[in-house]
Amino acid sequence: MRSRDLWEAYLRRVQCLGWKRPDAIAPFVVTHSPPDRVPDGPLPYTFVTDGIESAVEQATGAAAGRDVVLMGASMVQQCLRAGLLDEVIINLVPALLGDGVRLFEAGSPGDYELAIDSVITAPGVTHLTYRVVR
């Protein structure tokens, strides 16, 4: 699942670099207004306009027992606030992008709690897995 802003940024990269969308991922885009035109692909884009809970429900159904992956801080924040996440996986690379939405700016301290499940380091990346404590 991703926000409309991330979807549009992804499409710009696809057009500029000639990237192809992976066949195995059915993209769900959370938005207030679906676009008029959507690029063709092996799986349809699903635009969800009735909130994050509905988007997670639809994506979970489409995943048929597999994981649902969120893209972007806004999606993570909304799901944390709604109590819809089981874990947060961050693949941290040492790159400064300039600006954007802070990942853990979802609310006041105590709104949710994260516990570290694993930390795996490799050259150029650290993989962090947090469990959402209920």
Domain ranges of the chain: 2-133
**Phi/psi class of residue 124: alpha, beta or left (left: φ > 0; alpha: ψ in -120 to 50)?**
left
- Residue 22: predicted pLDDT: 54
pTM above 0.85, yes or no: no
List Cβ neighbours of 34 (8 Å cut-off, separation of 6 or more): 47, 49
User: With respect to CATH, is domain 2-133 assigned 2.10.109.10?
Assistant: no
Helix (H) or strand (E) holding 10: helix 4-17
Residues in the chain with pLDDT values less than 70: 1-25, 41-43, 106-110
- Length of the chain as a residue count: 134
